[in-house]
Amino acid sequence: MQNQKIVSDPKVMMGKPVVSGTRLTVELILEKLAAGETTEQILEAHPRLTREGIQAALAFAAQVLRYDVVYPTVEKAS
């Protein structure tokens, strides 16, 4: 898996994948998007982040999920 915009270093954010040149994790970007923040809002809040960095985070997450085993979720009865 090669994505030079996404890097992982044990000394940065405990090794979580981050956008290169920032301390912004792929996880944080996904959480912000899932919470309804727009790309523009995220870019405004994080000036070192680029649109390409957000796109790289999404591509990275999709690629990771492609190779991971995903188990269906089951709703618990009340």
Predicted local confidence at residue 66, as pLDDT: 86
Q: Is the pLDDT of residue 2 over 50?
A: no
Q: DSSP assignment, residue 25?
A: B
Q: Could you state, in order of their start, the residue ranges of all structural domains in the chain?
A: 6-67
Query: At 3, is the pLDDT very low, low, confident or very high (cuts 50, 70, 90)?
Result: low
CATH number of 6-67: 1.10.10.10
Question: CA–CA separation, 4 vs 47, rounded Å?
Answer: 20
The predicted-structure confidence for 42-76, as pLDDT tens digits, reads as follows: 999 999 999 999 999 999 999 988 886 767 777 76
pTM: 0.81
